Amino acid sequence: GKHVRAHPDLAREVAARGHSIGNHTETHPSLLWMSRRRIIQQLSQCQDAIEQATGQRPTIMRPPFGERGPQLQSAVRQAGLNGVAMWSLTAFDWKPQRAERLIRRLGGAANGDVILLHDGDHLAMGADRPHLLKALEFWLPRWRDGGLKFVTLDASNLTCA
């Protein structure tokens, strides 16, 4: 949410290119021990930021760090979201590292996977990400040539838990 508020033009461009935009909270806190009321506040603030920037309200959220407690599902519903999206493959890519590490980690991708990738670090905008770009330059054509299909999360018929 706070990054969308700081760069609404970027959020608009992402939406205009047909990407799904999900809720990832206002400030990227751990939700594990947070109260339901505070989670709703985090989600609602992010919903408002995304809607102001793009005209769209997300229907799915992804919890920061993947951390979620039993209070999350009811908070998600109360905030007007339909589900919680998780991933099946991650490259642990949020910190600068050698691209070869990411390339190895992404090697097992298959149809049906939800791949978690980051555009930098949640702590600040403008994070270093050439390692991710190199890994994607390597894998995207190979995945496509291997028959993998790229879909938005909304269009993928995934069951979000």
From the first residue on, what is the mean pLDDT of each consecutive set of 10 residues in the chain (161 residues)? 95 94 96 97 98 96 95 96 92 89 93 86 72 94 93 60 46
Partner residues linked to 83 by β-bridges: 60
Distance CA(118)–CA(64), nearest Å, equals 12
User: For residue 2, what are the CA distances in angstroms to 58, 82, 92, 107?
Assistant: 15, 22, 22, 33
pLDDT at 31: 97
**Alpha carbon distance 12, 26 (integer Å):** 17
d(CA 16, CA 95): 28
